[in-house]
Amino acid sequence: MNPHVGNEYTFPVTIAAAPKRVAVVGGGAAGMRAAIDLTDRGHHVTVFSAGPLGGGLRRAGEVLEDPNFQELSAHLQHEVGRRAVDVKQVTAGPEELEGYDSVFLASGLAPRPFTGRVADDAVPVVVADDLTPETLAGLEGPVVVVGAGLIGVRLGMLLTDRGVATTVLERGGRIMSDDDVIYDQLFFPEIVAESGVDIRQGHDVSAVTAEGVRAVVDGVETTVPAATVILAVGHEPDVPEWAASTRVPDVVIGGARKRGRAFDAIHDAFYSALTH
């Protein structure tokens, strides 16, 4: 995950000819990596983070109990902390960005909106990104997860392992259908199958009701019972409105530029910082 490994001489981090005051908007994987490498190049960097450093990477590590996410987030936070990076835990807007020579937008990803209907008397519905370890620990089955991407599947596996009756519904014909990582496509389905999580494909979810999740399967409407519904229907770039008008960023990196994994965000930030 370290973009320097194997590239120490191919892509050396050199001192910039003209140091700048650089604002990095976003404290997730891309924002932290950019701050590290921009500082190493001699720039004066301020990171604006709406929450604690780590962003979605930190939250995923906590909720999914994934040591890989946890250790990567901790490592990046440590590397930022041992450099002269000014970290401000505020939501940045045009006013906060005045006076900077350059702005890196690393605002990450936002949950994709659920296109179905949520009835007024529906069972509790929570967006996967809003889950906390405490919320997840308090869930009782049956739980229905809508969406069999990486997060939806991992949540299903975790809850099933805890003994919570969980069903993951996927509209398409296979899990992680929008995943372009070949390793996941080849091997992850086998790991999922061994976990015993109930994944039902071909379920086009139309509504969440008092009974559970309503879906159309082969043209026939059915209801999957649920006490709680978790929406994990994917992500899209989270670009603030001001970025298209008031203060257009000089560089857009990570999920704010293109949906992808933490691996992609980190490498995007690294190579962008090298040339700035």
Task: Say if 182 falls within a structural domain.
Answer: yes
Task: Say if 2 falls within a structural domain.
Answer: no
183 shares its domain with 118: yes
Here the tokens at position 50 are: 């709406």
Q: What is the count of structural domains for the chain?
A: 2
Task: Say if 259 falls within a structural domain.
Answer: yes
131 vs 64, 256, 272, CA distance in Å?
10, 21, 32
251 shares its domain with 222: no
Domain holding 84, by residue range, is 21-110+236-274
pLDDT, position 6: 53
Query: Of 270, 213, 255, which Cα lies nearest the Cα of 60?
Result: 255
The structure tokens 């983070």 sit at 49
Q: Which amino acid is at 145?
A: V
Share of the chain above pLDDT 70, in %: 92
DSSP assigned state of 130: G
Q: What rounded mean pLDDT belongs to the chain?
A: 92
Is the pLDDT at 240 greater than 60? The verdict is: yes
Cα 31 to Cα 47: distance, rounded to the nearest angstrom: 7
Per-residue confidence band for 220, with pLDDT thresholds at 50, 70 and 90: very high
Task: Say if 6 falls within a structural domain.
Answer: no
CATH of the domain at 33: 3.40.50.720
pLDDT, position 175: 78
Q: Which residue would you say has higher pLDDT here, 146 or 184? A: 146
Per-residue confidence band for 7, with pLDDT thresholds at 50, 70 and 90: low
Task: Say if 1 falls within a structural domain.
Answer: no
Average pLDDT score over residue span 125-129: 97
The conformational region for residue 173 under phi > 0 = left, psi -120 to 50 = alpha, else beta, is alpha
Is the pLDDT at 125 greater than 90? The verdict is: yes
133 shares its domain with 192: yes
Task: Say if 15 falls within a structural domain.
Answer: no
226 shares its domain with 245: no
Task: Say if 225 falls within a structural domain.
Answer: yes
DSSP letter for each residue of 192-248: HHHHT-EEEES-EEEEE-SSEEEEEETTEEEEEE-SEEEE---EEE---GGGGTTS-
Cα 9 to Cα 86: distance, rounded to the nearest angstrom: 29
Most confidently predicted of 22-36, 186-200, 236-250: 22-36
Query: Of 121, 107, 104, 143, which Cα lies nearest the Cα of 274?
Result: 104
Cα 1 to Cα 51: distance, rounded to the nearest angstrom: 23
118 shares its domain with 224: yes
Task: Say if 9 falls within a structural domain.
Answer: no
Average pLDDT score over residue span 36-45: 98
pLDDT, position 183: 54
> SS3 for 143?
strand
Q: What are the tens digits of pLDDT across the range 67-114?
A: 999 999 999 999 999 999 999 999 999 999 999 999 999 999 999 999
229 shares its domain with 117: yes
Per-residue confidence band for 252, with pLDDT thresholds at 50, 70 and 90: very high
pLDDT, position 185: 62
Sheet holding 143-146, edge to edge: 125-127, 228-231, 143-146, 166-170, 198-201
pLDDT, position 186: 65
